[in-house]
Chains A and B, each alone.
Chain A
């Protein structure tokens, strides 16, 4: 016996008709296939196989065995170089951070409203950021010779790219109200920036500089590989003489320093914002 449909059932049947068609999942499947194809294709072209990884595993173990115990006494020898590394990062970051200010201002479309200014400057900035820091260091070593100066210059240029990019994006997201107010009081361009823009982005800017310093300490640790001074030089030396226990000491030392600086910098940045 079939009962007459209740009003609710009737309403449901009505909404069943209105329900839109389930969207096709074809797009998801195609995306997945494309991804798999890309990974597999890359592996095939570079002739890398999982088998190689398995074959290499014993070598890896040997290397690890040679790395331990680390040569703790070697730390005394590399302490001055580690200090040099930090000094490079400090000086490089500072120079870069100062030079980044005009770049950041010229890139911000709400400060410089002329597209013929901010687009070209952004292009230059993008160009700077595409050059890896190691390549920058090699270039400066070629020009200024081996040593800390080349490393510092490489880090400066690298910092300009990073700080300017982050800062100009911060400038573009500031509250427009105070800027309008500064126009209304009759401020000139520089005063407008000093009173309307700067106070709104200064905390961000300092935070970005500290972040860049963190990145630069890590970068500075390997710049020595291309002769640009600092601890990186000792990686080359110890690896070259197969003194893996010493290499390990450098790695641990670097790790501790980087973690310490990251920790302090992060704490300071939390306070700022």
Chain B
């Protein structure tokens, strides 16, 4: 369970990234965070694993405060929170397998990981993760030989190998075409349902949010302006989140057909 209590983020230049946010996300939920760019979606997501520090309030992960966590404890908390990025963030010159194994470093000693001596269990875990996202045959390819969609699936495999129980996905499909978008979102959904991993996704497309999420959180100017089950998120609600009528580019299209 993730709990945000009165969370605010003030940037050094004075702009308010987040403003007094209170949220409670239960285990196993699939949450889509929607809003215009600059509404604070990314800031909110990155506050949860403390890639960004917040200026006020507190964030609790399964009963532990990540806001107050010191270095070693923070790393342990982060180990349980996988993250997927818009730009995949793989090491392009490393092999796919090594990128996936990078998700395991939190479980072993510094020396062992630096030498690349991962136990057999980890190798099995990595291969199974790659198999789950249907990319196992690319294990020894260099990451930059893969297409964007394949790279994002490697990133998902990294999170799986990490054995995280929370996945944060920051615009995971923003740089993918509609077909690979569907594959990546399907992968995330399957993982969420079969493994019960709490999934929080920042999304731009209204129809994607509706199709995959069970709950939608709308952000505008750093504030939660909508929070409810997907059934309640009507077009009017989205217009309110965006502060204007919905536009054509807020729909991915094709999916509904």
Number of A positions contacting B (CB below 8 A): 21
CB-contact partner of B91 in A183, A186, A200, under 8 A: A200
Binary contact track B76-111/A, C-beta < 8 Å → 1, others 0: 111101110101111111100010001101100010
Taking CB as reference atom, which chain B residue is nearest A184?
A: B83
A183 to B87, CA, bound (A): 16
Tell whether, in the assembled complex, residue B87 and residue A177 are in contact, meaning their CB atoms are under 8 Å apart. yes
A263 within 8 A of B: no
Cα of A195 to Cα of B116 in the assembled complex, Å: 10
Distance (Å) between the CB of A218 and the closest chain B CB? 31
A185→B51 CA distance, assembly (Å): 11
Q: Is the CB of A175 within 8 A of B92?
A: yes
The reply to whether the CB of A132 lies closer than 8 angstroms to some CB of chain B is: no
Q: A115 to chain B: closest CB distance in Å?
A: 16
Task: Please determine whether B91 and A185 come into contact, CB atoms closer than 8 angstroms.
Answer: no
A191 to B107, CA, bound (A): 11
Identify the interface centre among A180, A181, A182, A196: most chain B CB within 10 Å of its CB: A181
A185/B82 in contact, CB under 8 A: yes
Contact assessment for B81 and A184 in the assembled complex, using a CB-CB cutoff below 8 Å:
yes
> Are B83 and A200 within 8 A (Cβ)?
no
A196 to B98, CA, bound (A): 11
CA distance A73 to B106 in the complex (A): 65
- Are B78 and A178 in contact (CB-based, < 8 A)? no
Please determine whether B79 and A181 come into contact, CB atoms closer than 8 angstroms: no
Determine the chain B residues whose CB is within 8 A of the CB of A112 once the complex forms.
none
**Which of A184, A190, A199 interacts with B78 by CB under 8 Å?**
A184
Q: How large is the interface on B (under 10, 10 to 19, 20 to 34, 35 or more residues)?
A: 20 to 34
Across the interface, name the chain B residue whose C-beta is closest to A197: B91
Chain B nearest CB, measured from A10 CB (Å)? 43
A185 & B89 in contact (Cβ 8 Å cutoff): no
Assembly CA distance A153 to B226 (angstroms): 68
- Are the C-beta atoms of A181 and B83 separated by less than 8 Å? yes
| Cα distance, A175 to B155, chains bound together (Å) | 16
A190 engages B89 (CB within 8 Å): no
CB atoms of A183 and B51 under 8 A apart: yes
Verify if B114 is at the interface (C-beta below 8 Å from A): yes
In contact, A185 and B85 (Cβ under 8 angstroms): no
Give Cα A187–Cα B102 distance, bound, in whole angstroms.
9
Interface residues of A in 168-204 (CB under 8 A from B): 175, 177-178, 180-188, 190-191, 194-196, 199-200, 202-203
* Inter-subunit contact A191/B105 (CB<8 Å): yes
Closest to B115 in A: A194
Known: A180-B51, A191-B113. A185 touches B90 (CB 8 A): no
B93 contacts across to A, CB distance below 8 A: 199-200, 202-203
Question: Is there contact, CB below 8 Å, between A186 and B113?
Answer: no
Q: Which residue of B lies closest to A201 (CB)?
A: B93
A139 to B85, CA, bound (A): 53
User: Would B110 and A185 count as touching, CB distance under 8 A?
Assistant: no
Q: Is there an interface contact between B79 and A186, defined as CB atoms closer than 8 Å?
A: yes
Given the known interface contacts A185-B106, A188-B110, the answer about A195 and B91 at a Cβ–Cβ threshold of 8 Å is yes
Asked whether B78 lies within 8 Å of A183 as measured between CB atoms, the reply is yes
Question: Is B162 interfacial (CB 8 A cutoff)?
Answer: yes
- Is the pair A180, B89 in contact by a Cβ cutoff of 8 Å? yes
The answer to whether B158 touches A177, judged by C-beta atoms less than 8 angstroms apart, is: no
CB of A45 to closest CB in B, whole Å? 53
A203: nearest chain-B partner, CB-CB: B93
Assess whether B49 is interfacial by the CB under 8 Å rule: yes
A178–B155 Cα distance when bound, in Å, is 11
Question: Can you list 22 residue pairs at the A/B interface with Cβ under 8 Å?
Answer: A175-B92, A177-B88, A178-B91, A180-B85, A183-B78, A184-B51, A184-B82, A185-B78, A185-B79, A185-B83, A186-B78, A186-B79, A186-B106, A187-B102, A187-B105, A187-B106, A190-B114, A191-B110, A191-B113, A195-B105, A200-B92, A202-B93
> Which 3 A-B pairs rank lowest in CB-CB distance, beginning with the nearest?
A177-B89, A186-B106, A186-B79
In the complex, besides A183-B51, A188-B75, 13 extra interface pairs with C-beta distance below 8 angstroms are A177-B87, A177-B89, A180-B85, A181-B155, A181-B158, A185-B105, A185-B162, A191-B113, A194-B113, A195-B91, A195-B105, A199-B91, A199-B94
Question: Which residues in B have some Cβ–Cβ distance to A below 8 Å?
Answer: 49, 51, 74-79, 81-83, 85, 87-94, 98, 102-103, 105-106, 110, 113-114, 155, 158, 162
Residue ranges of A at the interface with B (Cβ–Cβ < 8 Å): 175, 177-178, 180-188, 190-191, 194-196, 199-200, 202-203
